[in-house]
């Protein structure tokens, strides 16, 4: 055999570089030893779901879960309408809020609630949820009852001014609901109360000396009053 030069011998030895481990074995071994590479997301996922975290903070974890469920249910309840199982929860929230409303603003708050009930009614009519109609109408009537009660106890003209916008909205929404084919009945109590308030205001104006503009307003109010449009008459009176 011919004698190899040192260069040839070294080249032969260097050929051993081709000896390589199987790539899949290399990856698998790395995973087994060091563990899979974690993304920032999976790292956080471990933090929240890892056994150690749960067991170390068992009490806090259960309290947090209850709180999340509670907030979730309350949040979901705010979209409910009369007739839904979660509506009672929504009502409790609203009642809770009314405790924090001052006596002076109670009438305005009641009117806002009546407006909300009309919104619910519109929603129900739009979605054609027939089974929810009766409870929604009854809820609306109940809220209007509260409005009447509040207004009867309130003779403050400053507050009445504040209520004008809400009463106007209420009237517009009532018309909208009626246009959807829903009969919500006449609110006799509210009408007679409004008639009473407007009547008193007319007498008051007639007993005073009026400017030309005030006389014009009085005439318009009297016209609407005679037509039986008491809410419209009140609007003109309060927005003068």
Partner 1 sequence: MSDQRKIFTQIYDEHIDKIYRFIALKVNSQDIAQDLCSETFVRAWKCFNENKKIDNPQAFLYQIARNLVIDHYREKGRTQTIQVENIPLIDETVDLEERSLKNSDLNEIKAVMANIKPEYQDVVTLHYVEDYNVSEIAEMLNKSEGNVRVTLHRALKSIRSKIEEV
34 binds partner 1 (CB under 8 A): yes
Cα dihedral sign, 145-176-104-207: negative
Segment interacting with partner 1, rule: CB under 8 A, options 2-10, 98-106, 125-133, 205-213: 2-10
- Residue ranges of the alpha helices (H) in the chain? 6-14, 23-34, 40-49, 51-56, 58-77, 87-98, 106-127, 130-152, 157-179, 188-206, 212-227, 230-238
31 binds partner 1 (CB under 8 A): no
35 binds partner 1 (CB under 8 A): yes
Considering beta carbons, is residue 24 or 128 the nearer one to partner 1?
24
What does residue 132 show for φ and ψ, rounded to 5 degrees? -90, -10
Question: What is the rounded CA–CA span in Å between residue 94 and residue 88?
Answer: 10
103 binds partner 1 (CB under 8 A): no
State in angstroms the smallest separation of the CB of 173 from partner 1.
59
26 binds partner 1 (CB under 8 A): yes
Segment interacting with partner 1, rule: CB under 8 A, options 27-35, 76-84, 166-174, 210-218: 27-35
Q: Which of 80, 175, 78 is nearest to 135 (CA)?
A: 80
Q: Which of 33, 59, 103, 203 binds partner 1 (CB under 8 A)?
A: 33
Lookup: tokens for 84: 């839904």
The residue count for binding partner 1 (CB under 8 A) is 27
Residue recorded with tokens 């590479």: 37
9 binds partner 1 (CB under 8 A): yes
Q: Which residues are near partner 1 by CB under 8 A?
A: 1, 3-4, 6, 9-10, 12-22, 25-26, 29-30, 32-35, 37-38
């Amino acid at each position: 055999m011919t004698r190899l030069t040192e260069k040839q011998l070294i080249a032969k030895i260097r050929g051993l570089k081709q000896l390589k481990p199987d790539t899949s074995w290399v990856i698998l071994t790395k995973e087994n030893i060091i563990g899979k590479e974690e993304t920032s997301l999976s790292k956080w996922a471990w933090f929240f779901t890892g056994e150690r975290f749960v067991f170390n903070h068992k009490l806090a974890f259960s309290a947090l879960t209850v709180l999340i469920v509670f907030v979730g249910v309350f949040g979901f309840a705010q979209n409910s309408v009369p007739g839904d199982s979660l509506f009672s929860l929504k009502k409790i929230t609203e009642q809770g809020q009314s405790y924090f409303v001052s006596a002076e603003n109670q009438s305005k708050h009641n009117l806002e609630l009546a407006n909300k009930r009309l919104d619910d009614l519109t929603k129900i009519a739009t979605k054609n949820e027939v089974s929810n109609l009766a409870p929604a109408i009854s809820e609306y009537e109940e809220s209007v009852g509260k409005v009447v009660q509040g207004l009867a106890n309130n003779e403050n003209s400053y507050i009445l001014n504040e209520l004008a916008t809400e009463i106007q909205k209420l009237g517009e929404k009532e018309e909208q609901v009626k246009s959807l084919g829903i009969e919500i009945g006449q609110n006799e109590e509210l009408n007679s109360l409004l008639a009473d308030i407007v009547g008193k205001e007319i007498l008051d104006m007639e007993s005073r000396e009026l400017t030309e503009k005030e006389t014009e307003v009085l005439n318009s109010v009297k016209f609407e009053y005679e037509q039986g449009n008491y809410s419209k008459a009140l609007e003109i009176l309060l927005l003068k």
